[in-house]
Amino acid sequence: MKKHHLRIPGPTEVPEQVLRAMQAPMINHRGEEFTSLFKKVSEEIKEVFQTKNDVLVFPSAGTGAMEAAIANLFSPGDLIVSFSCGVFGDRFADIAEAFGARVERIKVEWGRPVTYEIVRERISKDTKKEIKGVLFTHNETSTGVLNDIKSLREAVGDHPALVIVDAISSLGAVELNTDEWQIDVVVAGSQKALMIPPGLGLVSVSERAWKAVEDSKMPKYYWNFKNAKKSLEKGETPYTPAVSLVYALEESLKQIFDEGLENIIMRHKLLAKALREGLKNLGFRLFAQDSWASPTVTAVDISDFQGKINFSKALKNRFNITVAGGQEKLKGKIIRIGHVGYVDELDIINVLSAIEMILADEELFGKGVKAAEKVFNEGVEV
């Protein structure tokens, strides 16, 4: 008998209370019960986005919310600059390209972040203000790298390009001050720090972005922001909403506010730090440096163990801990340990202890756990 531990960077574990909330009886999505529920969560979610602007909720994967942002803000032929440091940055560019934008891809070596300088250099060259939008990834899930969105936004400065941030794996776990930092569109998904099952895509839209929506000529129906906003004013959606997931969101928001967004952000920092110190103490190399390491997912270099230990398999078979492997060129070279959403200190201890037992070297027993305990006991100074 082994309990279930989902340590991938999403979908994440869903708290029991949220699972229970989803068991509420199905209701009429055009009735008063749903409209008041939908108005409530659509209002409350703004706090998590740190915005006063509208947040639109779609029945979709996070990728759908990315597509929605592209389709509503731009027109075919628009120049969009994508700054990518991994799989999900590339995906955003792919979507823009699929919709006929002229996409310029600026790629950063995997394992490293996009920097102020890289963005500033490209922006400052655009004297004719041709760039209509820039695409950033807040937390690059494929490499465990956190981009400093505040600084990247500053690099865009007063250039009129819309600033669009994929915050799917960061929103609600990492500081992201949408309004204060002047982010036009933030894209998120339900299955990460929001601690609910996959199926909701969320998009915040700034006033500046709403102006761009007026001019956008990309084809859209499902993702149409204007229709979504018009419906939202009545507490409705243009087509059938994912009712049970909206119930789930109501409950998860309650839990988020109970703990407090700032506390949640500190918790994620602490969990990441403890895991990293533990892994380092066991001799592992981490794929991303501490200074830009993700608070929600840690990529661990396992290339030294190839042909010797299959960590993903061993963690699953022996301890029922599910971690993620590397994607594309990182396949087989890293494992990714998710610590986002419904994750606590003992979950980190679990992973480290399980890895110690898999390493099966008596010298290492307790060594990673020891380092993590030290971090936890020193508390939140991270």
Q: Which residues bind a second copy (CB under 8 A)?
A: 1-5, 16, 23, 255, 259, 264, 267, 319-320, 342-347, 349-350, 353-354, 356-357, 360, 362, 365-371, 373-374, 376-377
Report the alpha-carbon distance of residue 308 to residue 239 in Å, rounded. 52
Task: Provide the minimum distance between the beta carbon of 1 and a second copy in the complex, in angstroms, as a whole number.
Answer: 5
Pick between residue 307 and residue 379 the one whose CB is nearest to a second copy. 379
Instruction: Please report the DSSP string for 28-80 in residue order.
Output: -TTSHHHHHHHHHHHHHHHHHHT-SSEEEEEES-HHHHHHHHHHHH--TT-EE
Report the C-alpha gap between 188 and 226 in whole angstroms. 19
To a second copy, the closest distance from the beta carbon of 263 in angstroms equals: 8
Which of 137, 198, 177, 168 lies closest to 261, judged by CA?
177
Give me the least distance between CB of 273 and a second copy, in Å please: 15
- Cβ closest to a second copy, residue 39 vs residue 367: 367
Q: CB nearer to a second copy: give 32 or 344.
A: 344
**What is the number of H-type helices and E-type strands within the chain?**
13, 15
Q: Which is nearer to a second copy, 313 or 370 (CB)?
A: 370
| Smallest gap from residue 41 Cβ to a second copy (A) | 20
105 labelled ligand-binding: no
Shortest distance, position 321 Cβ to a second copy, whole Å: 8
DSSP sequence for 211-265: HHHHH--S--STT-HHHHHHHHHTT--SS---HHHHHHHHHHHHHHHHH-HHHHH
Question: Which residue lies nearer to a second copy by CB, 181 or 319?
Answer: 319
Nearer to a second copy, 158 or 362 (CB): 362
Q: Which of 18, 7, 9 has its CA nearest to residue 256?
A: 18
* Min dist. Cβ of residue 349 to a second copy (A): 4
Q: Which residues contact 326 (CB under 8 A, 6 or more apart)?
A: 142, 299, 332, 333, 334, 335, 336
Residue with tokens 């947040």: 55
- Provide the annotated binding site for substrate: 336
